């Protein structure tokens, strides 16, 4: 069954010059890997902006090198777009639109046949306003089109032995700021520094978010990872550092990590 789905992906990509929106996450890495199997040429493009979590650009470079694909970094300024900075519930629409308009210009310059991204079939059931922008701009999502799910993506990567197979999901830093609160460069920088520090202290934590609520930071970790946090020395390190960054209070969400989605979407 999975092999049939992979063949559908190959049918989309075979003998094409392909531009891949490449974050270095498991989804974009896997679609780049499948493109490399059959495409005439693969160009993996990583957008560098204020909202990219610290260290992710270097990780994307490493993964592209591991796969042996051409990797190019472009600069994108999402905060230059007022609708994005206002942080509405469809914020991702404006982010993806800005990114893929730049990629569309790059595609035209390179004479590439198509632009693809790593959206998968599982994500189509979630709150994905950015996917609307992709469809408007004619971006292809071969994994979603072939019906390949998130677990199947990890299965593909694991079968090839690549390091990104078990990489946890990591959204852009704007997702750390609640809808309706203005996104500023200062907020993005602070929450990025906070999350990087907490990740370093907790070392092998897989799922982590630090949410920015102006005066307070809320830490979310995976439901099965609380034991990594509950000792006084670790807690004191985290609280002291985050207060040094300007937060007045630091909280732990005892419900654990959960994606930030609009209230109306939760009710569906």
Residue-wise pLDDT tens digits, 150-185: 999 999 999 999 999 999 888 899 999 999 999 999
Task: Give me the number of domains the chain comprises.
Answer: 2
The strand pairing partners of 19, in sequence order, are: 43, 115
Higher-pLDDT residue of 70, 229: 70
pLDDT for 6 beyond 90? yes
Q: How confident is the model at residue 228 (pLDDT cuts 50, 70, 90)?
A: confident
Q: What is the DSSP letter of 183?
A: P
Evaluate whether residue 157 is within a structural domain.
yes
Q: Other CB atoms closer than 10 Å to residue 51's CB: what's the count? A: 23
pLDDT digit string, tens, across residues 17-28: 999 999 999 999
Do 145 and 84 belong to one domain?
yes
Do 188 and 66 belong to one domain?
no
Evaluate whether residue 176 is within a structural domain.
no
pLDDT of 70: 97
Q: Other CB atoms closer than 10 Å to residue 41's CB: what's the count? A: 17
pLDDT digit string, tens, across residues 62-89: 999 999 999 999 999 999 999 999 999 9
222: three-class secondary structure by DSSP: coil
Residue 251 is encoded by which pair of tokens?
Answer: 């909280």
Do 143 and 201 belong to one domain?
no
20: three-class secondary structure by DSSP: strand
Do 25 and 144 belong to one domain?
yes
Average pLDDT over residues 5-24: 98
State percent of the chain over pLDDT 70.
97
Do 229 and 146 belong to one domain?
no
Do 258 and 144 belong to one domain?
no
Evaluate whether residue 239 is within a structural domain.
yes
pTM of the predicted model as reported, rounded to 2 decimal places: 0.90
Q: Other CB atoms closer than 10 Å to residue 258's CB: what's the count? A: 11
pLDDT of 128: 85
pLDDT of 69: 97
The domain of 27 spans: 2-166
Task: Write phi, then psi, for 232 (nearest 5 degrees).
Answer: -60, -40
The strand pairing partners of 234, in sequence order, are: none
> What CATH number is associated with residue 238?
3.30.70
Do 95 and 216 belong to one domain?
no
- Contact call for residues 122 and 131 (beta carbons, < 8 A): no
Q: What is the DSSP letter of 1?
A: -
């Amino acid at each position: 069954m999975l092999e049939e789905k992979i063949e559908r992906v190959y049918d989309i990509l075979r003998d094409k010059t392909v531009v891949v929106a490449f974050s270095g996450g498991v989804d974009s890495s896997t679609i780049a890997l499948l493109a490399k199997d059959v495409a005439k040429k693969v160009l993996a493009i990583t957008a560098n902006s204020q909202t990219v979590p610290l260290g992710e650009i270097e990780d994307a470079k490493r993964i592209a090198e591991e796969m042996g694909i051409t990797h190019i970094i472009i600069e994108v300024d999402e905060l230059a777009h007022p609708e994005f900075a206002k942080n509405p519930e469809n914020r991702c629409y404006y982010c993806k639109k800005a990114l893929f308009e730049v990629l569309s210009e790059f595609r035209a310059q390179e004479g590439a046949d198509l632009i693809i991204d790593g959206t998968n079939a599982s994500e189509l059931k979630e709150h994905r306003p950015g996917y609307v922008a992709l469809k408007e701009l004619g971006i292809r999502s071969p994994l979603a089109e072939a019906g390949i799910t998130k677990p199947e993506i990890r299965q593909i990567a694991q079968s090839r032995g690549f390091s990104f197979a078990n990489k946890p999901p990591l959204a852009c830093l704007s997702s750390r700021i609640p809808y309706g609160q203005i996104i500023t460069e200062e907020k993005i920088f602070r929450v990025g520094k906070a999350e990087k520090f907490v990740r370093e202290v907790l070392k092998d934590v897989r799922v982590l978010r630090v949410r920015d609520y102006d005066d307070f930071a809320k830490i979310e970790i995976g439901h099965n990872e609380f034991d990594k946090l509950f000792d006084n020395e670790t807690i004191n390190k985290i609280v002291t550092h985050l207060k040094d960054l300007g937060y007045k209070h630091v909280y732990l969400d005892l419900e654990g990590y959960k994606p930030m989605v609009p209230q109306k979407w939760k009710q569906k």
